Structure formats: structure tokens, C-alpha cells
């Protein structure tokens, strides 16, 4: 009986986040495609964007203050780079059962209120974010198309001042995508910023 | 001014000062020495924010830890600077936090996240535990049992 109790307590002690933090993509890896529901009810895959040269994949959510502080910057990125071939694809990795305000209905409302110009997908079953190695919101992955593959070219923050858009000096994503658009490798490929842990049961 | 009125005013001023909770704001350069104290106690540094639900859940465990002999807890708030007066200080007062609380106000996250620990991706909550000869970093939430077990392994 004691061993059973012990085994049981071990089960509860292990946190689910431990399983995913060590994995995920490095620069140069091939990113997986997915098929996830968008706020407009359609399913979205990277393969749907035939004319894209790549993607700005952003794991973000409804309630994290760091995500909210970056919403306008994410919209601006999509407005600037969609027509150049790098649309924003936003994915909410949070399990709505583990966090209030993260259900598809909440996502639809947020998308409407803010006027999102990009797909805002739900990572149903939390299958996609661990493959990418996202650990927080917001967490960005810039992908470049190479034939049927999508190569990871940049991982990290949107810019160097996540809390205060007025103090931005380095626009990391813009620098990365601008380099890719002229056939160069981004000079900065990985950066960090504070974010909210991804909520799972 | 009558002397007794003056006394009343003075008492009132003293009383209001006693009620004011001070939380100092630091940039990383100022915080850094607090992450490298040459102390005989186990230093536990928790990075949190009032908006971070899993942080708030584990905060009482850190408060309990702070009562232990040989353990010193530092709570580093990452609340937005504009929320320091409206949210952080009222939270510290409401919950009567006994551990030392400081507010990290430094925009260059890409610099100081790596300085604090290269394995930290930037997610909250996160905890640094260190002694003179061992340092560990934990980008995770703790249960009370996990936290106490982990800290005890540093003794």
C-alpha cells in the first residue's frame, strides 16, 4: 500500500512542463506543419499559404499581459510583412481547461475587439507548441519556406522592449525577416524576453 | 500652532509613514549583487508578478520557506512599472508578505535573462536557488513538497 501511495504522490509531483522544456527546435530545423482551427471556424495549415515565402509563427494568448502588450506590434508586423510573403500565424497554446479566458469563444472575441488581421489558431490538445519548443507567450518562430519544408530561422522575442513599445531599439523579427527577404541569414537568430508560462492541466 | 495640535499632526505623519510599504525598483545591475550574496544561508530567489496566476499560487510556499532557519527568500517582481503603485504594493500589503520584495525594472530582457541563467527561456514563474558552492535554476511551478525538498538538498 505504501509503495502505491508513493507512486501516486510521484505522479502528482511531476509537473507537465518538465516534459517539454528540453525539446523543441533549434535554428535550421524543419518545422512541422499543423492543421488547427482558426477563430473564423476554418482549419489552417502552413501548406495553405502557397504564395508565402515564410511565416512569422507567434505563440500568444488572450490573457498574458506580455501578449497583450505586444498585440499592436503583432498586427503591425502582419500588416508590414504579409504582402512581402511573411504572414503572421498566431497560435494560442494554452489549454482552456487550465486557464480562464483562453477558450475559442474568448479568442474570437479578442480577435474581433483588436481587429486581428492574421489567423489566430487554437493548439487543440496542446500538440503543436511542444514540438516547436515554445515555453511561454509570446514566443516567436520565424520560418522560411524551402520547397515543401519550413526552416526555422529565428526564435525568441519580438523586440528588445517587450513591456514598453516606446523604448524599442532593436526590432528582432523585422531584422530577421528583412534579412531573409534579401537572401541573407539573420544576424541575430535567438533572443529572449519575459513571458507567461504555457497553461496546461 | 497649538502644541497639542502639532503633536497630533506629528503622530499622524509618523503613522502614515509606518503604513507605507516601500518596494524598491532596481535595474539588473543593481539586482545582480542580490543574486550573488556570499552568505552561509540558502538563498532562494523567486521571479514572479501579480498577474501570474501560477506565481501567486506558489507564493505562500516561499513565504513559509522564508521562516526556515538558514533560508533567505527574495521575491523579484516583474510587474509592469506602471502597475507598481496600483497593483504590486497593494498586493504586498494585502498579503502581508514577509520575504524581501524588490521590483525589477529593466527593459533589456534579452541581456539579463541570460545573465541570470542561460537555460531560462523567460517564462514565469522561475526560481533561482543558490549557496556558496551550488546554483540551480528552475523555470517551473513548484508544489510545496517539491520546493521544500529541493531547497533542503542545498543544505
Q: What residue ranges do the domains of chain B occupy?
A: 22-152
pLDDT score of A27? 97
Q: CB-CB: which of A18, A135, A192 is closest to B109?
A: A192
Residue of B nearest to A198 (CA): B123
pLDDT in tens, A13-72: 444 433 334 579 999 999 999 999 999 999 999 999 999 999 999 999 999 999 999 999
Nearest CA among A19, A39, A20 for reference residue A134: A20
Q: Which CATH class is domain A25-197?
A: alpha beta
Task: Count other C-beta atoms under 10 Å from residue A142's C-beta.
Answer: 28
A24-63 residues touching B, CB cutoff 8 A = none
User: In this structure, are residues A48 and A79 in contact, taking their beta carbons and an 8 Å threshold?
Assistant: no
Predicted ipTM? 0.81
Phi/psi for A195 (5° steps) reads: -160, 180
- Domain ranges for chain A, please list them: 25-197
Q: Which of A18, A167, A197 sits opposite B107 (nearest CB)?
A: A167
A93 touches B at CB < 8 Å: no
Cα angle: A10, vertex B41, B67; to 5 degrees: 65
Cα separation, B10 vs B50, whole angstroms: 34
Instruction: Tell me how many residue pairs between chain A and chain B have CB atoms under 8 A apart.
Output: 82
Q: Is the pLDDT of residue B120 over 90?
A: yes
Residue in this structure with the C-alpha cell 474568448, named with its chain if needed: A106
Closest CA to B110 of A94, A44, A146, A188: A188
Q: Is A191 an interface residue toward B (CB < 8 Å)?
A: yes
Closest CA to A84 of A62, A54, A108, A113: A54
Q: What is the pLDDT confidence band of residue A6, given thresholds at 50, 70 and 90?
A: very low
Omega before residue B54 within 30° of 0, cis: no
Q: B22-152 sits in which CATH class?
A: alpha beta
Amino acid at each position: 500500500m505504501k509503495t502505491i501511495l508513493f507512486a501516486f504522490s510521484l505522479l502528482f509531483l511531476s509537473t507537465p512542463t518538465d516534459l517539454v522544456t528540453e525539446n523543441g527546435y533549434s535554428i535550421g530545423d524543419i518545422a512541422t506543419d499543423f492543421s488547427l482551427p482558426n477563430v473564423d471556424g476554418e482549419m489552417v495549415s502552413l501548406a495553405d499559404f502557397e504564395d508565402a515565402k515564410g511565416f512569422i509563427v507567434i505563440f500568444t494568448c488572450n490573457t498574458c499581459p506580455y501578449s497583450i502588450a505586444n498585440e499592436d506590434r503583432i498586427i503591425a508586423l502582419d500588416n508590414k510583412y504579409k504582402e512581402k510573403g511573411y504572414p503572421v500565424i498566431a497560435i494560442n497554446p494554452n489549454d482552456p481547461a487550465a486557464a480562464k479566458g483562453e477558450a475559442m469563444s474568448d479568442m474570437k472575441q479578442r480577435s474581433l475587439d483588436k481587429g486581428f488581421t492574421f489567423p489566430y489558431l487554437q493548439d487543440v490538445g496542446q500538440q503543436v507548441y511542444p514540438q516547436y519548443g515554445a515555453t511561454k507567450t509570446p514566443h516567436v518562430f520565424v520560418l522560411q519556406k524551402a520547397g515543401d519544408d519550413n526552416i526555422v530561422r529565428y526564435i525568441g522575442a519580438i523586440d528588445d522592449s517587450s513591456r514598453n513599445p516606446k523604448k524599442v531599439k532593436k526590432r528582432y523579427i523585422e531584422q530577421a525577416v528583412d534579412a531573409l527577404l534579401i537572401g541573407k541569414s539573420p544576424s541575430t537568430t535567438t533572443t529572449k524576453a519575459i513571458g507567461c508560462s504555457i497553461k496546461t492541466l | 500652532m497649538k502644541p497639542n495640535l502639532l503633536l497630533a499632526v506629528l503622530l499622524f505623519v509618523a503613522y502614515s509613514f509606518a503604513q507605507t510599504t516601500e518596494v524598491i525598483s532596481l535595474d539588473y545591475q543593481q539586482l545582480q549583487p542580490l543574486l550573488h550574496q556570499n552568505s552561509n544561508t540558502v538563498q532562494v530567489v523567486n521571479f514572479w508578478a501579480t498577474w501570474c496566476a501560477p506565481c501567486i499560487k506558489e507564493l505562500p510556499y516561499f513565504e513559509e520557506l522564508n521562516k526556515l532557519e538558514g533560508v533567505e527568500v527574495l521575491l523579484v517582481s516583474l510587474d509592469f512599472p506602471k502597475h507598481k503603485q496600483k497593483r504590486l504594493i497593494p498586493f504586498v500589503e494585502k498579503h502581508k508578505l514577509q520575504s524581501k520584495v524588490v521590483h525589477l525594472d529593466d527593459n533589456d530582457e534579452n541581456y539579463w535573462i541570460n545573465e541570470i541563467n542561460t537555460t531560462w527561456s523567460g517564462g514565469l514563474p522561475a526560481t533561482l536557488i543558490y549557496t556558496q558552492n551550488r546554483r540551480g535554476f528552475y523555470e517551473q511551478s513548484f508544489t510545496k513538497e517539491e520546493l521544500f525538498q529541493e531547497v533542503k538538498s542545498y543544505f
